[in-house]
Structure 1
């Protein structure tokens, strides 16, 4: 579905497709536009996708949890470009105070009863352990009897 078609959907269908309301979507685009202006002030190559498409791609990833390869194919970009765009959208929105969740201490001090439970099930990149010389030598010694 193209972005023009998605924007023409009613409020309820838009929310069912993206997971956010149109009003929230436009606020997200404004936040990304400000962050993109700061990023572009340093120069560099233009993105193939505009900000709305990058945000849609990020929401699609979070909503449907499809692979970056499949999302990239839908938008006509590579898997690595899809990863970079989704990661930038996530990081930019998480850093903004409008989308930041209160900390544990703030939740404990407040008198409000929360009825919502959030579970973060997104991938978190980790580094593989480095192979050092000592572990390789010990493996060789174990093999020789």
Structure 2
């Protein structure tokens, strides 16, 4: 299957305009989201498969592209329930 997602490391190559077209938000908003979410990372438990940055990109692709959780999960290599949990978690913060 073709990997449709853009990992955070790849997204860093995008200009401000390109990033906003891709995600629907500015780099400064994205950085603020990362900062806020990092404050709510549990100290214990199993580490997540995706970085916080990739979790936010997953959520943004769900919101911005109107993709369903199955498509987002497939693109990011996680289960559909995991994708739904990530979206809910990001939305909560």
- Confirm or deny a common fold (TM above 0.5): yes
Q: If you compute each CA radius of gyration, which structure gives the higher value, 1 or 2?
A: 1
The aligned runs of 1:10-89 (5 Å cut-off) are 10-36=15-41, 40-41=42-43, 43-89=44-90
CA RMSD of aligned residues (A): 0.9
8 Å contact 2:20–2:27 — kept in the other structure?
Answer: yes
* Superposition misfits of 4+ residues, deviation over 4 angstroms: none
Distance 1:2 1:32 in 2: 17
Number of residue equivalences: 88
Give the unaligned 5+ runs of structure 1. Answer: 93-145
Give the unaligned 5+ runs of structure 2. Answer: 1-5
Q: Secondary structure at the match of 1:77?
A: coil
8 Å contact 2:7–2:54 — kept in the other structure?
Answer: no
| TM-score when normalising by structure 1 | 0.59
Shift of 1:3: 2.1
Higher relative contact order (CA 8 A, sep 6+): 2
Distance 1:51 1:2 in 2: 11
| TM-score when normalising by structure 2 | 0.90
Distance 1:57 1:2 in 2: 9
